[in-house]
Amino acid sequence: MLRFTKREAADLMIALIVLSFCFAISTVKIDIHKILSLLPIVIIGVASGTILHEVGHKFMAMRYGYQSEFKLWPIGLLIGFATAFFGFVFAVPGTANLDTEDLSDEMNGKIKIAGPLTNIVLALLFILIAALIYPFSLHSQTIHLIYLICTVGFSVNSFLATFNLIPIYSFDGTAVLKWSIGFWIIAFAIAVIMMLSSMTIGAENMVLMIMGLT
């Protein structure tokens, strides 16, 4: 059964709040009114990406008979907050700690890749849903709001997948690279392409491209 400890739940909540502000600030800069109006939209993307990322770790860890626990990395959040003012977010909110050190490289790699893969799948689902509902979003405020949530969700999850796969410190990418260079290259390449597309083309323009409107 998936379970979160009290400390883990608190760490996830802190990460969720700080990351949400980071992504909001990176989008609208220092404009309190715009930040507050954008925050509810951003929170959904960050919440799905952060929480389900950890669920991915926990699910894979359980398959091997272990438990995974999210531990906040304050420095990673501070870096993210600082970079947000420059229009981008470079942040890894924490790491997934396992309750054992007796793991093979393969098991550890598979447990750690589950988180970023969850973000990749979520990002693709968000952009697909955005494309499907785009025609209807032009005539309904409610659907337009869902559309905005999906485009932001794509961007947020692309960022989370990419940064977690960087093979430094105790990031997920370190364990994945140690397990399989080929698998890491494929996953990291997909995540980077999505993140760069979000930064350069923009999620909304990507939807128009998918719809064949540009």
Residue tagged active-site, from 54, 101, 106, 204? 54
Percent of the chain with pLDDT over 70: 99
For residues 21-46, average pLDDT: 87
> pLDDT-based confidence at 187, cuts 50/70/90?
very high
Q: What angle do CA 17, 18, 21 make, to 5 degrees?
A: 90
Amino acid at 11: D
Known catalytic residue at 101: no
Percent of the chain with pLDDT over 90: 53
Q: Kindly report the pTM of this predicted structure.
A: 0.89
Higher pLDDT, 2 or 163: 163
In whole angstroms, how far apart are CA 79 and each of 75, 107, 180, 181, 188?
A: 6, 30, 29, 28, 21
124-137: b or e for each residue (b if 16 or more CB lie within 10 Å)?
eebbebbbebbeeb
Residue 132 has pLDDT above 90, yes or no: yes
Residue 86's Cβ-count burial label (10 Å; 0-12, 13-18, 19+) is: exposed
For residues 5-27, average pLDDT: 90
Residue 126 has pLDDT above 80, yes or no: yes
Residue 3's Cβ-count burial label (10 Å; 0-12, 13-18, 19+) is: exposed
Residue 1 has pLDDT above 70, yes or no: no
Residue 134 has pLDDT above 90, yes or no: yes
For residues 4-20, average pLDDT: 90
**Do residues 11 and 94 make contact, with C-beta atoms less than 8 angstroms apart?**
yes
Q: 36: Cβ–Cβ under 8 A, 6 or more apart, which residues?
A: none
- The pLDDT assigned to 87 comes to 81
The mean predicted confidence, pLDDT, of the chain is 90
Higher pLDDT, 87 or 214: 87
- The pLDDT assigned to 153 comes to 94
- The pLDDT assigned to 214 comes to 60
- The pLDDT assigned to 26 comes to 87
Instruction: Please state, in angstroms and rounded to a whole number, the distance separating the CA atoms of residues 164 and 142.
Output: 33
- The pLDDT assigned to 213 comes to 67
